[in-house]
Amino acid sequence: MRAYGFSEGGGPEQETFLDVPVPDPGPGELLVRVRAAGVNPGDWRLREGTYGVAGPAVLGREVAGTVTAVGPGVTGFSVGDEVFGGCPGMVGGWAEQALVTASFAAHRPAGLTPEAAAVLPVAAGTARDALEDLGLRAGATLLVNGAGGGVGIPVVQLARARGIAVVGVASPAKHELVAGWGATPVAYGDGVLDRVRAAAPAGVDAVFDMVGGAALRTVAELVEDRSMLLSIADKPLVAELGGRTVERDRSTAVLDELARLVVSGDLDPCVRQVRPLDEAGAALAEVERGHVVGKIVLVP
């Protein structure tokens, strides 16, 4: 079958269409005919070698589709079910058919499109888990560093739904988007601490970072209790600063929760581009450049 991935670790020049066999679902796995697949920064990081996956490999970490086979030991799913979920080993979704981890899969309810469902497991799931890790109560203030990105957009929405005030650091082009969900946007760059303090005179109770590097080091100064500093962008630096990364809950229950929020109108997955699998390379290039507004979905 036709799939998109990379021949070996490295830059975009290693990306290519692959002819791969249809996989057989192993214990705890589903095989689905892919109807939509999400695009994430983790995809290009995987291609670069960050996660230790050698090529050739198929890209894609999250999909929505129709179950075509059920692996040994799987209960609760049958051939023909419409589902969404995460791919085992973080790879394999940009294809005509893909494996999905049954324990990190859910039935797609009426009212949730395949395109919206396909972007929930990675970005929205990470956002939800970050808020659970931080345990902030209504009335607290959260700084989101990278509020206009794939994880930043759902975390702003989910935090505001919990009654948490949000200051969102984002590029000026994304300020209107961030403000539209009830956050106070501020710009990156020199003077960012002054802008954050002006937006939150009483201080911030936690920082959630999606940027890393010098930007993370700067905003870390805003929290004295470094257990309230989270980053998914720079694990070595956040550990050095006394913070931590997000503990993921890759479960059916989390996906069911996110699906309910979308159907009820409390969470917008913010799918802004739906592109054919033929354009996978161009879609990933956009995400890698870091200027995409909202999520991109690929449709085989």
Is there a catalytic annotation at residue 51? Answer: yes
Type of residue found at 121 = P
The phi and psi torsions of 2 (rounded to 5 degrees) equal -90, 135
Find the catalytic residue in 12, 45, 51, 276: 51
Burial 37-58 (b: 16+ CB within 10 A, else e): bbbbbbbbebbeeeeebebebb
Nearest of 98, 108, 101 to residue 74 by alpha carbon: 101
Residue 163 CA: distances (Å) to CA of 61, 79, 136, 141, 292: 31, 41, 9, 9, 27
Strands 105-107 and 229-231: unpaired
Q: The tokens 């294809």 sit on which residue?
A: 95
On whether the CB atoms of residues 171 and 200 are closer than 8 A, the answer is: no
- Say how far apart CA 32 and CA 87 lie, in whole Å: 10
On whether the CB atoms of residues 209 and 216 are closer than 8 A, the answer is: yes
On whether the CB atoms of residues 85 and 106 are closer than 8 A, the answer is: yes
Type of residue found at 226 = R
Catalytic residues: 51
